[in-house]
């Protein structure tokens, strides 16, 4: 999706339509390939098991999930935010109807819940084609575009994988050193209480990345000033949300999740620091994506993941899950430092006007 955004965001409408038709074909193909992988995994695990059935359900959902995500990305690339919002609303509507139907049954399973979660995506994927009046293309030109995007796309995929590995590593370390109960406390704060922050971040990226691509290509600005403003806005928003959680977190945890989760309130402040620090460097990370600096991003993410894992290992044993959460924040601090270092090393003098040299930085893999 991100290589498409870099290529499509500054195009004229006719060119955008052509590229979007090609890109949607690539997205569907990727979804089908993913479906085959999940289907094989489900068969190997065994359809008699709940896990096997869940994998088969994901195989059915994968093409629709991928295409729905692509329509959202394409809408933002074309400055059609209302179309993206309407398409997401259709997914939510279908999802709500599916879950309402599921709740009427007497036996709720994980596979059934997955079907309800993803059913709306197929609905939104089908209607998205009509919203944008675009049909996916599967011809040779589409696969030629896919080959052109593989270089920088591989770097971006590596960044996401490195980040995910870091999250799994933290969870594993907390479980081994502090136990499953403390892991539950960590996850409810990171995944549930700060879940809205993560959703807002994803949504903001959907808008800011194509905006940054357009502004840097049309005005020849480096985008540094815009990235600083974006980081400040995100930091203020995250901090304000975190302050509300600090004041109401314990009550929320006890009332919603139960008294066993009350001790998780002590993790809110270090988790807030982790997300606020991450927000302060988010503009730099998006700017590196807009410049196609995938190799630099991967180097940054691997370094941050290594620092985060090491900090969690050193702090979890003497201080428990609280120490692990501070280690999580340390990883964010390393990431922001490296992100801004990589940005400023390229364009150190652009904070005032947002204007600067017209040089466009790319990875070797992009060429």
pLDDT in tens, 256-290: 999 999 999 999 999 999 999 999 999 999 999 99
One domain, residues 328 and 202: yes
One domain, residues 236 and 366: yes
Q: Which among 138, 172, 205 is the end of a domain?
A: 138
* Helix (DSSP H) and strand (DSSP E) numbers for the chain: 12, 0
> Are residues 190 and 171 in contact, defined by beta-carbon separation less than 8 angstroms?
no
User: For residue 202, is it within any domain?
Assistant: yes
Report, as an integer, the average pLDDT of 66-88: 94
User: For residue 156, is it within any domain?
Assistant: yes
pLDDT value of residue 186:
96
User: For residue 85, is it within any domain?
Assistant: yes
* pTM of structure: 0.82
One domain, residues 243 and 293: yes
Number of domains in the chain: 2
User: For residue 144, is it within any domain?
Assistant: no
Reply yes or no on whether the pLDDT at 162 is more than 60.
Answer: yes
One domain, residues 161 and 56: no
User: For residue 260, is it within any domain?
Assistant: yes
Q: Which among 138, 159, 176 is the end of a domain?
A: 138
What pLDDT band is residue 220 in, cutting at 50, 70 and 90? low
One domain, residues 287 and 334: yes
User: For residue 349, is it within any domain?
Assistant: yes
pLDDT value of residue 311:
96
Helix (H, G, I), strand (E, B) or coil at 103: helix
Report, as an integer, the average pLDDT of 150-168: 91
What pLDDT band is residue 358 in, cutting at 50, 70 and 90? very low
pLDDT value of residue 152:
86
One domain, residues 210 and 262: yes
> Are residues 142 and 22 in contact, defined by beta-carbon separation less than 8 angstroms?
yes
Six token digits for residue 213: 């691509």
What pLDDT band is residue 347 in, cutting at 50, 70 and 90? low
pLDDT value of residue 365:
38
Least confident of 18-27, 56-65, 142-151: 142-151
Q: Which among 138, 164, 191 is the end of a domain?
A: 138
The single residue listed with the structure tokens 């295409």 is 67
One domain, residues 336 and 216: yes
pLDDT value of residue 218:
63
One domain, residues 102 and 191: no
Reply yes or no on whether the pLDDT at 66 is more than 90.
Answer: yes
What pLDDT band is residue 219 in, cutting at 50, 70 and 90? low
User: For residue 73, is it within any domain?
Assistant: yes
Better-predicted residue by pLDDT, 304 or 217: 304
One domain, residues 345 and 277: yes
> Are residues 341 and 203 in contact, defined by beta-carbon separation less than 8 angstroms?
no
Sequence-ordered strand ranges (E) for 10-160 = none
User: For residue 197, is it within any domain?
Assistant: yes
In the DSSP assignment, the letter for residue 281 is T
One domain, residues 192 and 221: yes
One domain, residues 125 and 202: no
pLDDT value of residue 330:
95
Report, as an integer, the average pLDDT of 91-114: 89
Domain, as residue range, for 158: 151-367
Report, as an integer, the average pLDDT of 352-363: 39
Report, as an integer, the average pLDDT of 289-316: 93
């Amino acid at each position: 999706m991100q290589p498409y955004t870099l290529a499509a965001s500054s195009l004229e409408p006719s060119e955008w339509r052509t590229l979007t038709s090609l890109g949607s074909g690539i997205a569907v193909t990727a979804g089908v390939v993913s479906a085959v992988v999940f289907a094989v995994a489900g068969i190997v695990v065994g359809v008699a098991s709940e896990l096997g059935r869940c994998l088969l359900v994901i195989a059915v959902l994968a093409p629709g999930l991928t295409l729905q995500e692509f329509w959202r990305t394409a809408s933002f690339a074309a400055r059609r935010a209302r179309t993206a919002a309407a398409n997401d609303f259709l997914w939510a509507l279908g999802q709500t109807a599916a879950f309402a139907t599921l709740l009427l049954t007497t036996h709720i399973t994980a596979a059934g819940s997955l079907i309800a979660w993803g059913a709306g995506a197929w609905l939104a994927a089908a209607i998205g084609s009509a919203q944008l009046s675009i049909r996916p293309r599967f011809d040779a030109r589409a696969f030629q575009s896919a080959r052109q995007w593989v270089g920088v796309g591989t770097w971006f995929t590596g960044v996401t994988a490195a980040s995910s590995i870091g999250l799994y590593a933290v969870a594993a370390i907390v479980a081994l050193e502090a136990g499953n109960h403390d892991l539950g406390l960590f996850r409810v704060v990171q995944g549930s209480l700060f879940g809205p922050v993560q959703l807002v971040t994803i949504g903001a990226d959907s808008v800011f990345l194509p905006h940054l691509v357009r502004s840097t290509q049309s005005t020849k600005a480096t985008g540094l000033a815009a990235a600083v403003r974006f980081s400040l806005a995100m930091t203020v928003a995250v901090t304000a949300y975190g302050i509300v959680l600090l004041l109401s977190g314990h009550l929320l945890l006890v009332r919603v999740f139960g008294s066993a989760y009350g001790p998780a309130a002590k993790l809110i402040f270090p988790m807030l620091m982790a997300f606020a620090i991450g927000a302060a460097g988010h503009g730099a990370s998006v700017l590196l994506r807009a410049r196609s600096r995938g190799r630099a991003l991967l180097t940054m993410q691997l370094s941050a993941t290594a620092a985060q894992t090491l900090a969690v290992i050193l702090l979890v044993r003497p201080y428990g899950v609280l120490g692990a959460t501070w280690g999580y924040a340390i990883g964010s601090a390393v990431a922001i430092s490296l992100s801004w270092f990589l940005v400023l090393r390229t364009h150190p003098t652009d904070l005032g006007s947002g204007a600067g040299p017209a040089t466009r930085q790319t990875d070797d893999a992009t060429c």
